[in-house]
Structures are given as structure tokens and as C-alpha cells.
Amino acid sequence: MNRRRVVITGLGAITPIGCGTENFWHGLMEGKSGVSLITRFDATNFKTKIGAEVSDFDPSDYDIKPKDLKRMDLFTQYGVAAARLAIKDSRLKLKAYNDEIGTMIGTGIGGLMTLESEKKKLVENKTPSKVSPFVVPMMMPNAVNAYVSILNKLTGTSPCVANACATGLYALIYACKDIAIGDFDVMVTGGSEAILTEIAASSFGNMRALSRRNDEPERACRPFDKDRDGFVIGEGAGVLILESLEHALARDARIYAEIVGYATNTDAYHITAPDPEARLVKKAIRDSLNMAGLKPEEVDYINAHGTSTPLNDKAEAIAIREIFGNYRVPVSSVKSMTGHLIGAAGAVEAIACVLAMENQIIPPNINYETPDPEIDLNIIDKPTPAKLNIVMNNSFGFGGHNAVMILKKYSG
């Protein structure tokens, strides 16, 4: 089968270090941390009291009507806003109905905020009459896809991906496949998440997955550092516009980058822990390189999954070290700044990769202070100008879901 070339023509980001790609990029270049004490709920009695909240979000800035707002969980609001930004950035001319455009915006968990707040109403009032009739459509994982499709009249496919922390990159890869095989010309794709809630913080905290560096929140997320002690829950959304190259050229679109390789697989090892030997992560990296027809030394930068947890960072480092050998490929994790955006992480980080190539600067891995002797990587800890033609993006999730994508700066 002749696969169509797939390119990226639009970007939309809602993140704890800035909303909109310009603000997001400035945050990355400033080495800005989006982590602070949690305000979403009273975290006084929690062992982890920090999170990465989106602080400058106003739904009215993204033309979300009050009627719709009352029927949207926060994760849906973020996803709709990011999609608005991406579509505007792409300069797509939408028609009354757009059969050739699909949506694929995933989430790791979905409307947990709505579920938690409405459950409290039921318990406190001791009557079901106080529960919103919109709870189900507000909490369902496909709500972002549904609203983005409805508000923009996108009548192509709209599946919802839910692969935990790898969701955003999985969505991009499967959207890319839909275009490559000719099913659709354009896909609006990415991930969205908003789970800074008591139940999520309790659960992640009790599994000892979260950092407890409460006295210095901005220094808490430190991927690959010897003193890392867990990830920081973040929130936000990343949406990208993917198009077939022919479609993009026909409408004279601005092309940011081309997707030239990707791979997905599953550890089949453990529901939350990574395979310590990283066998399938290595395979995903190799398979993506083979698809792209590239040698490891042709990769200019790796945007790592880098969660700041002891096990995940070590496993990812083992995989990178084995595949890339003596080639000291530059590596950084933007989670050091944004926190872990769960289902939105892979998509937001893909945007970071595109912007890095656009500006020819590697984003920093902040808070990298004490090298871990078990992690032998070339960690970039400050914004670093570099010739970036090929960039790899890694994303892994609970359940053993692995995704790797390779982007190339478009040159015709």
C-alpha cells in the first residue's frame, strides 16, 4: 500500500506554563515551573500538596458559550479550547459540514472532577434529585471529541483513545494512520486531562507515585535526577492538526513538520510498573526508526517521557542508552516544567517537539541537579540552540502502553 505523507499544520496548547503556543513556548524557554500548592481542593491533610494547575484559563476566550460550559467537565473545556487554537492556527476553512475531517482527542481518565463533585452532592443531600442530569455526558471520555465535532461540524470519524499516560501520542499515531491510508484528509487530534481532584491525589499518593517535595514545589518535578521522588499531577490539553501532504499543499497551508515514523506496543508486564528491562520500549524505538528509515545517530533530540519517578526514568534511560549506544543524543523532559498531564502529556509534548524544530532550540529539563549514576544520558538542563531536523517523542503509560513518534522538519 502506498501510504500518504502526513504533516502537522496547526497547534493548540493549554498548559500550566501558558495557554496558546506562544505562551507555552515562552514558558519552556524561561524554564518556568507550573508546579505550586494545590488550590483546586483543600490538600491540608494530603501527603502531596502540590500540583501543576492551569492558572490563566478563561473559557470565554475560546468562544465556549455559557450554555455549553455548564455541560462540560474541565477536561472538555481544555480540549475544546486547544482545538479552537489549533484549527485557527491551521487556517482551515471549515464548511457547513466537513466529512473529510475527523477528530481523535483522547483522555487518560476523563471527567473525574464532575464525578467527584456530583457524588458529594448525592451523599451530602441524601437525595438523587440534586445530581445533575448531565453527569454522564460530562464525565464520558469521548466528550471532547463530541463537542469539538459538534462545534466545528466535523463529521468524519471520532474515536476516543484512552491509554493512560500514553493517550495523547497514541491518538496522534492513530490519527496519522487514518490519513496515511486515505480514509480522511485532516484529523484534529491530541489529548486532554483535568484530574486534580481529591480522589486522584489520594490514589496516586497512596501508591507512592507522587513527589512529596511540598516545601519547594517548583523544584519537585526533576526527571532523571538522582533525588527524584515521584511525578506531579498536571492538567491541560494539546491538540494538533494533521493533514495529508497533498491536502496541505493544495490549500497552501503552513507546514510545521512531517510525521515520518512511529510505533506502539505493550509491555504485558504489570498494570502500573514498567518492565525494568524495557524490552518493548526498545522495540518501539527501533520500529519507529526503521519505519522512518533512520539510524539512531540521525536523531537530533529526544523529548523523553521522563516522569520523575524512580522506575520509569530508569527504564526509559536503559532503552535509550542501549539503542543509541555511544551516540550522546540530547534528551530532556518538559514534564519538569508542566508536571505530568496524563492523557494530554504526549500531545502537549509533541507540540513542544514541533516548536523546538521551528525555533532550533532544545527545551530544558529543569531541576536536573544531581546526576543518577544509573542513568547515563545526555540531559539538557537549559535552553540549548541546536540543529534540529529529526526529533523523537516518547510516551508510555500505565498498563504498559508504549508509543514513540519521529518528527522531521518539513523541507518539501
Residue 109 burial class via C-beta count within 10 angstroms: exposed 0-12, middle 13-18, buried 19 and up: buried
Residues 364 and 387 in one domain: yes
* Assigned domain for 99 exists: yes
**Is the distance from CB of 185 to CB of 100 less than 8 angstroms?**
yes
Q: Which of 250, 276, 309 is at the close of a domain?
A: 250
pLDDT at 285: 98
pLDDT at 1: 65
Rounded Cα distance between 190 and 279, Å, is 27
pLDDT at 412: 80
Domain that includes residue 311, residue range: 261-409
**Is the distance from CB of 100 to CB of 184 less than 8 angstroms?**
yes
pLDDT at 199: 97
Residues 181 and 270 in one domain: no
* Assigned domain for 146 exists: yes
For the chain, what is the domain count?
2
Residues 166 and 220 in one domain: yes
* Assigned domain for 317 exists: yes
Residues 356 and 245 in one domain: no
Residues 242 and 270 in one domain: no
Residues 207 and 267 in one domain: no
Give pTM, 2 decimals. Answer: 0.98
pLDDT at 2: 86
CATH code where residue 343 lies: 3.40.47.10
> So which residues are the catalytic ones?
165, 305, 340
Other beta carbons less than 10 A from residue 216's beta carbon: 11
Could you state, in chain order, the average pLDDT of each consecutive group of 10 residues for the chain (412 residues)? 93 98 98 98 97 96 95 98 98 97 98 96 92 96 98 98 98 98 98 98 96 98 98 98 98 98 98 97 98 98 98 98 97 98 98 98 98 97 98 98 98 84
Residues 137 and 285 in one domain: no
pLDDT at 204: 97
Residues 281 and 228 in one domain: no
CA dihedral sign of residues 144, 147, 153, 156: positive
Residues 116 and 163 in one domain: yes
* Assigned domain for 256 exists: no
Rounded Cα distance between 305 and 165, Å, is 9
| Nearest CA-CA partner of 364 in 334, 340, 393, 389 | 334
